[in-house]
A = this chain, B = another copy of it.
Amino acid sequence: MSSFSKKNSPLKGIVPPMITPLNQDGSLDTESTAKLIEHLISGGVHGIFILGTTGEFTGLSYDVRRELIFETCNRVAGRVPVLVGIADVSLEESIKLGAYAAEAGAYALVVAPPFYMNIDQQEMCAYYEQLADAITIPMYLYNMPSHTKLTIELDTVIKLSAHERIIGLKDSSAHGVYFQSLCHAFRDHEDFMLMVGPEEMMAETVLMGSHGGVAGGANLYPQLYVALYEAAANRDFEKIKKYQYCVMEISRNIYQVGGFKSSYMKGLKTAMSFAGLCQAVFAPPLYPFSSGDVEELRSRVEKIDALLKENQL
């Protein structure tokens, strides 16, 4: 079990929201999982976050979720912290999965609000407190209004941060004012981790003092996002410009094929299948690109690969 604790140094850097490698029958592709973990760690990531939105956590059965937790914690074997998403609509199922993750050696849990009922902030607050009381390892809040319909408002974050096991927040809202408000509120609490989800915003928020990013693209190109993070942390503007360019090209080209609401998910996992990191197999309700979209993506990925090569990444 984790020996990390709050009031220690917060997690910093790039923590990819790991995609979940699947076999055609929906079972966990353990071979790809092992390969992907090595790819990430050798790419320099500072942690691995499994069972997030990019990990298609909602589409997986509980059996697959548990298997992924077990496999990942075992494979990673303490080399980097493992963060485990346990968001659910049922508090009891979240608690069960959290206990399993703690037992498996996870560093911390990541929890979006329960995402079906329309609730008020006081209900959200009570929910998080019940959960935090029931788990044994630290927990990050996960703000994801586009998927949960709910925003964890600033005052709620402040209130929850008093709980000894709530140690930070990942914000995927893409709302720049919200995130700066968090940075301001926690300016004297360096130990409260603040990271953004959207990789396009990572550099600027690190420049402003936040801790890093949960960058989906780091599944494919971990070294790029690590290099951008370090450039931002070191205020090396020449490198920021160079790497941010690459990140934006990925965003513009890989995440938008086909015009689906899920194009990011489909583009990322399919591009990773080109690199042999997983199969292009999705959990329902997602399904693979048409062959036309695959070919369009392939030609785009080739250009990105060449671009990164030029940049020695």
Contact = CB atoms under 8 A, between A and B. Distances in A.
Given A123-B285, A126-B287, A175-B176, A59 B198 contact: no
Interface string A10-46: 0000000000000000100000000000000000000
A9 interface: no
A146 B248 CA distance: 25
A209 B241 contact: yes
Contact of A180 (B119, B149, B178, B200): B200
Contact of A285 (B59, B117, B208): B117
22 contacts: A53-B117, A58-B89, A58-B114, A59-B90, A61-B90, A61-B92, A91-B283, A120-B260, A124-B285, A126-B284, A126-B287, A127-B284, A127-B285, A130-B284, A174-B176, A177-B201, A180-B201, A180-B244, A180-B248, A187-B245, A207-B208, A209-B241
Interface of A: 26, 53, 58-62, 89-93, 96, 113-120, 123-124, 126-127, 130, 146-149, 174-181, 183-184, 187, 196, 198, 200-201, 203-205, 207-209, 235, 237, 240-241, 244-245, 248-249, 251-252, 260-262, 265, 283-287
